[in-house]
Chains A and B, each alone.
Chain A
Amino acid sequence: MPAEGEKRSIHHLLVDRILQGPGRAPADQRARAFDNANLPEPLGPLLDKVATKSAQVTDADFATAMEAGFTDDQLFELVICAAVGESTRQYEAGLAALAEAIADTEAG
């Protein structure tokens, strides 16, 4: 298998594992974290920051989520889902733009 195929297949394995595999956070919450969409209030500030401005995450963001009953292990998973979700959207956008540019070149 070519190296790039390997990278993409490892990426798929990672995404599949964090979203579909066993976890302490329910799969639907992990999916919402990954998509950065429809997040419940106590998770919203933390996970949106992870996706869009991670340098601004604070202890208070974690404290808010923990006061609402989320455990360390659930937050570990949900933060990872939020980070991998945003990075995946960027990776896929880059690959799609590349495919479009190459298709135009070959068609031309």
Chain B
Amino acid sequence: MRPGVLEHGYGVGPKLLFRLIRLMSGRPAPDAAKLTFYRPDFYGTHMKTFTQEAMRGRSTWSVGDRELMAAYVSKVNDSPFCVGAHTATATRAYQDGERVAAVLADLDSATIEEGLRATLGMLGKLTSEGTLNADDIRAVLSAGVSRQQIEDALAVGFAFNTTDRLANAFAFQVLSQEGFEAGAKYLLKRGYR
């Protein structure tokens, strides 16, 4: 990671935790996890709380749907670490890799529910253009998506529009497929706390 303090600047507690993770999993802690332990009072504590609420809090979107939204937003942001992490997590949550791959390859032709397609399209437009208008929202409502579901999806968008930028700027190390799958197992069991 860059700058160097994100590689070497951790206190005794996080260093012990990272060592424990390596011992238990056989892999180093992913950079996404490490970042939240660097001066957590500045960023990590609040961001972990927000992300946990957006991704695992009460919502009528399933965990798989929200992980797919995370992967899709990350693809639009061209964030290889986050695409890998959330493709693996959505795949594991749905137990359906073809569904996830189809959405990431071509949203328009993927065989998914129309409401989910419209919501992913809305998040994609917001991420690439930086804004939405009321007509964009009306199109999603017309596809049968509720107001609350749109609010929930926008929260996922905030979480990953932030995390994708940090993954790219701080140069998170892209993991092996096995590493992403181990991370997915952890995120589905323990969440983002």
Chain A residues with CB under 8 Å of chain B are 3-4, 6-7, 10-11, 13-14, 17-18, 21, 23, 46, 49-51, 54-55, 57, 59, 62, 66, 72-73, 75-77, 79-80, 82-84, 86-91, 93-95, 97-98, 100-102, 104-105
Interface stretch, picked from B42-50, B85-93, B98-106, B108-116, is B42-50
Given A4-B151, A57-B169, A94-B126, answer yes or no on A86-B161 (Cβ-Cβ < 8 Å). yes
What is the 8 Å Cβ interface bit string for chain B, positions 23-50, against chain A (1 contact, 0 not)?
0000000000000001101110011011
Enumerate chain A residues within 8 angstroms of B46, measured Cβ to Cβ. Answer: 10, 13-14, 17
Contact A7 B57 (CB under 8 A): yes
CB B74 to nearest CB in A, in angstroms, measures 11
Chain B residues with CB under 8 Å of chain A are 2-6, 9, 38-39, 41-43, 46-47, 49-50, 53-54, 57-59, 77-79, 122, 126-127, 130-138, 141, 147-148, 150-152, 154-155, 157-158, 161-162, 164-166, 168-171
Enumerate chain A residues within 8 angstroms of B78, measured Cβ to Cβ. Answer: 54-55
Instruction: Show 27 A/B contacts (Cβ-Cβ < 8 Å), sorted by A.
Output: A4-B148, A7-B50, A10-B49, A10-B53, A14-B43, A17-B41, A54-B78, A54-B165, A54-B168, A55-B77, A57-B171, A72-B6, A76-B3, A76-B38, A80-B42, A83-B165, A84-B43, A86-B165, A87-B157, A93-B132, A94-B126, A94-B150, A94-B154, A94-B157, A100-B134, A102-B147, A104-B134
Contact B79 A55 (CB under 8 A): yes
Contact A84 B157 (CB under 8 A): no
Enumerate chain B residues within 8 angstroms of A89, measured Cβ to Cβ. Answer: 130-131
Complexed CA–CA distance, A94 and B140 (Å): 12
Complexed CA–CA distance, A76 and B41 (Å): 13
CB B57 to nearest CB in A, in angstroms, measures 5
Complexed CA–CA distance, A7 and B165 (Å): 20
Contact B161 A90 (CB under 8 A): yes
Contact A75 B165 (CB under 8 A): no
**One of B136, B137, B162 near A83 (C-beta < 8 A):** B162
CB A93 to nearest CB in B, in angstroms, measures 4
Contact A88 B165 (CB under 8 A): no
Given A82-B165, A91-B157, A101-B138, answer yes or no on A54-B77 (Cβ-Cβ < 8 Å). yes
Enumerate chain B residues within 8 angstroms of A72, measured Cβ to Cβ. Answer: 3-6, 9
Contact B53 A7 (CB under 8 A): yes
